[in-house]
Chain A
């Protein structure tokens, strides 16, 4: 049991304690969630400080552990972190702690709620640190199950339908993913599911049709989860019906599983197929950017608006990863694009997590997300207004926030390999800037007499403000984060060739 396994399974252990405790009094269950997540966060900080900064991807993983699991099919319990996974594992710990604090305001069935989220935390952390395809798939699938129950059990009025759609849609994606994994297994010799070995041998290079089909299956599975256009239709209803904490985790962590899968699995293991189809991936990225932004512009519900901007933001990640596979530009620029993509995952997790928790505040006050029902909130709720404005500005990519660092690197890195696409995608920035400003104007400003909108309570502030604080820290002094991501991003680009 290494420290990494403790990091993964500690929340699950806390969840089991909760399940064995029939009636924890008051908010005890939520406090157990908070404490378990806090310990996990402390562990991640410790790991980060002790992290040596190896190249990762094919070699030099930190805190690596490999134990026999299903040797019959060449699958093992193999975990370890590198520059791609450590930031996301840290993001997971931060967001779950924030959601735990925010959930102090949730009164319905606290014990099951806390247990479900702790279960989800194990699943999410486990996914980011796993180095075996089957282990990855196990966590990928369990995240769907966990989130299904969060939406179905604590969602709003149409939750059952939205949860069903979410489950079926993403489950379809996960099985496409499984087919791709089996394709990799069958194509490798000796047969294995180990990501590191597969990335070292890249067994499907030189077999364009087979490699293309496997990439199609894996890409489909990850694209549904990310989600990219045209597989994003499950996302808005799921977000609209989910409770605030569920939305924050869904957007902040679960969506990253898709984009993370591209960097961790698709690019290193199928470099040739990735290069071959990079143009298509760039196109999908750009369409997601524009589609997400334009559809967000048409929303009247604030939560749906944020959901669609997630499609837009994930589009930038896909664009950068696709551009990294275009061999036109020089390797240094393409590795900047990959670094930007990973930074964007972290940044989006912080900012969108904060935005969704803020919508949860709106729901608790008024039980609606319609922007027309609000107006002039800056007067009665200054703390709410300040945090909402900060999160919105961060989300639209204003310098000083993490989003700027991420998007700047994405555009700087992608411009060389894919100039036209990058310029087209820049339009997306303009649209999101406009729509966030317009939304802020409708919610916070205006002459409307707002009474009875209570400002943030302490636990709401305590959950949202640290997320914004981190986004600003990354925005102002990003070196500590970029320094961790850079070597791994370079390793990925090296594997893709030049």
Chain B
């Protein structure tokens, strides 16, 4: 039954790191819990290295075909861990030295593990398990600070996640009933002949669950509240990392079992993509809050990601395009949040006036990240967008490509609303509030993320080739 635990070495290492960190934290004095952060960071580095070394080897389905070890999963492992590593550098004084500091890092690692499992799942039951593992730690993290905003965010997040989690379960049940199996390989064979309505409702319900993890329209209502209410590192993680797993899960589902199933699933995904990018952009237009602006921008980004899912299994370029986009997006988005964590600026756009003079490196990093999110060359997101647009056009979704291009221009408008004031002279500060954050590491992370965001675009060729040849 091809049970090769060694193929799951990265996942096992991550689990070991999470548990080990938790146990270590139990024995550490409260002031020394920073050590757990180092353990977590070390674990992530090891997982990245192991995943990279294992790439190509040990490929194929494992554990009765329920888990698919392939190049996209390798990319997901590396991207998830790298993004989590960047997030680990962000916590400021509101988390460092906190009585529950250890839990913070452990929960992050567990959520990362769940996301990777989501990306590799090739069985509906494993998909449910991964969904829960990727969600539950994040509910706790969203309310970590136990303040009013965080609690409200956690509650909203939890209610929506629980509701759509149950929907996902119902969908899995229906597909199992209709197709007689939960593995994607068997479902691909049985679903084309299965009862139409059961498959339609079941697949719709499963996709609804994934839409929640993606933060895609119409399951996006939690995104702005969590992004605004939770602490910056959590906001960065929640709007970035789960998408990596969810979008690959959606890709495997739409490009696998649903490809021959009754119902026009690519069209549905294309409509969801169009709705996400358009509504996300429209909502972002006149946001005054930096975090809400970023939140809506991530909703619109999901729309572009879903374009690749809409042509899944039909266009060869779709999978390389998707993995590149998701990798570039993850780094760029975490970079933008890192700037938010490191900048001595308030939550409103107007508070950022004059940052270009006060913290020039951060301002430049933010410009790179925001223009990167627009898809300005030569950043990684540009190449991702280019390839995704090409793949969608190749798959006959010309209308969606035109809409995405129009949306890209529209998104430039609100990013510029943020960039422009930074380079104006600063107003006289009245009673400056002391920043509760440690600037050092977050600032370095922001600059590093900006550099990686550009570098990914320049070395995109080999990356695409590696995924494409697999």
Contact = CB atoms under 8 A, between A and B. Distances in A.
Given A152-B420, A160-B424, 12 more contacts: A69-B461, A72-B465, A73-B317, A73-B390, A137-B377, A141-B377, A145-B376, A164-B420, A168-B412, A179-B389, A179-B401, A191-B394
B460 A182 contact: no
A284 interface: no
Given A164-B420, A179-B401, A72 B464 contact: yes
A72 B405 contact: no
Interface string B395-415: 000000110011011001100
Contact of B460 (A70, A149, A191): A70
A72 B317 contact: yes
A70 B464 contact: yes
Contacts of B386: 73, 134, 178, 182
Contacts of A478: none
B438 to A, nearest CB: 24
B275 to A, nearest CB: 20
A163 B390 CA distance: 30
A138 B378 contact: yes
A175 B409 contact: yes
Contacts of A183: 393
Nearest to B377: A138
Contact of A172 (B371, B382, B409): B409
Contacts of A164: 416, 420
Contacts, number: 78
Instruction: Provide the main secondary structure of the chain B interface.
Output: helix
B464 to A, nearest CB: 4
Interface of B: 317, 320, 371, 376-378, 382-383, 386-387, 389-390, 393-394, 401-402, 405-406, 408-409, 412-413, 416, 420, 423-424, 460-461, 464-465, 468
A72 B394 CA distance: 14
16 contacts: A70-B461, A70-B464, A73-B390, A141-B377, A141-B382, A142-B376, A142-B377, A145-B371, A164-B420, A167-B416, A168-B409, A176-B405, A182-B390, A182-B393, A185-B393, A191-B390
A72 B377 contact: no
A71 interface: yes
A299 to B, nearest CB: 28
A51 interface: no
A114 B194 CA distance: 67
Contacts of B320: 72
A192 to B, nearest CB: 11
Given A68-B461, A72-B464, A73-B386, A153 B412 contact: no
Contacts of B377: 137-138, 141-142
A178 B424 contact: no
Interface string A144-178: 01000100110000001001100110011001101
Contacts of B371: 145
B461 A185 contact: no
A70 B383 contact: yes
A186 interface: yes
Interface of A: 68-73, 134, 137-138, 141-142, 145, 149, 152-153, 160, 163-164, 167-168, 171-172, 175-176, 178-179, 182-183, 185-186, 191
Contacts of B402: 179
A179 B399 CA distance: 11
Residue of B378, B405, B460 with highest tally of chain A CB at under 10 A: B405
B401 A182 contact: yes
B468 A72 contact: yes
Given A134-B386, A160-B424, A175 B413 contact: no
Contacts of B460: 70
B260 to A, nearest CB: 25
Residue of B402, B406, B416 with highest tally of chain A CB at under 10 A: B416
Nearest to A109: B357
Contacts of B405: 175-176, 178-179
A25 B220 CA distance: 52
Contacts of A163: 420
A160 B378 CA distance: 25
Contacts of A69: 461
Contacts of B464: 70-73
Contacts of B412: 167-168, 171
A168 B413 contact: yes
Given A71-B461, A71-B465, A183-B393, A160 B376 contact: no
Contacts of A70: 383, 387, 460-461, 464
Contacts of A153: 423
Contacts of A179: 389, 401-402, 405
A139 to B, nearest CB: 8
A176 B416 CA distance: 20
A346 to B, nearest CB: 27
Contacts of A191: 390, 394
A185 B387 CA distance: 11
Contacts of B389: 178-179, 182
B318 to A, nearest CB: 11
A154 to B, nearest CB: 10
Given A73-B464, A175-B408, A186-B394, A141 B383 contact: no
Nearest to A149: B423
A186 B386 CA distance: 12
Given A73-B386, A171-B412, A186 B393 contact: yes
- List of 7 A-B pairs having minimum Cβ-Cβ separation, nearest first: A72-B464, A138-B377, A175-B405, A70-B461, A172-B409, A186-B393, A182-B393
Nearest to A68: B461
B229 to A, nearest CB: 31
A181 to B, nearest CB: 9
Contacts of A72: 317, 320, 387, 461, 464-465, 468
Nearest to A74: B390
Nearest to A178: B405
A145 B468 CA distance: 31
Contacts of B465: 71-72
Contacts of B387: 70, 72-73
Contacts of A141: 376-377, 382
A71 B416 CA distance: 32
B317 A152 contact: no
Contacts of A176: 405
B404 to A, nearest CB: 9
Contacts of A185: 390, 393
A212 B378 CA distance: 29
A182 B393 CA distance: 7
A348 to B, nearest CB: 27
Nearest to A187: B393
A69 B383 CA distance: 11
Contacts of A175: 405-406, 408-409
A400 B81 CA distance: 67
Nearest to A69: B461
A68 B462 CA distance: 9
A185 B395 CA distance: 13
A185 B394 CA distance: 9
Contacts of A68: 461
A112 to B, nearest CB: 9
